[in-house]
Amino acid sequence: MIEQQRLPAWSLLPIGDELIPKIEDFYGKPLLILFFYLGCPGCKGRAIPFANRIVYENSGIEVMGIHTRFEGRSYADEEIREAIEQFHIRFPVYRDMPESKTYHTYHAGGTPHWVLIDSEGRVAQSIFGSDPNNALLRLDYRIKEMLEND
């Protein structure tokens, strides 16, 4: 578990020609990271729509997606770009390094996995799943609490 620790370094690749942000770019504002995989039904059906909702409803929090592959087939950048359009993803998406390096560094438990970072760069919550009555509800409450106290 990495809760209450400083955000570990990430190892990401661009999907297109965008620059990879540095962790320090997010200091001073909360960040929600979504680890997802296009072969994951919960990611496409619940997690991505939830992350999009967070983008629209909470201007005080940044959202970032990391496409990772800890099992299953590999997706080409073009397939990920098509999914970004198909699912109307409104947050930046990056590819985890081969071998799911960032996924493992952040101790993700599968996909979707969420890591909520506070404005000081510390992990406030790390949670697996997309059940609207469990993981997403708990995450929603934690985000609202964090934004009220910032």
For the cut 70, the answer to whether the pLDDT of residue 2 exceeds it is: no
Q: Which phi and psi angles does 125 have, rounded to 5°?
A: -160, 140
pTM over 0.85: yes
27-51: average pLDDT:
95
Planar angle of CA 13, 46, 37, nearest 5 degrees = 30
For the cut 70, the answer to whether the pLDDT of residue 1 exceeds it is: no
CATH of range 25-149; options 3.40.50.300, 3.10.180.10, 3.30.70.20, 3.40.30.10: 3.40.30.10
For the cut 90, the answer to whether the pLDDT of residue 120 exceeds it is: no
For the cut 90, the answer to whether the pLDDT of residue 5 exceeds it is: no
Structure letter (DSSP) for residue 58: -
CA 82, CA 88: separation in Å to the nearest integer? 10
Domain boundaries, the chain: 25-149
Residue range 73-85, pLDDT digits in tens: 999 999 999 999 9
92-100: average pLDDT:
91
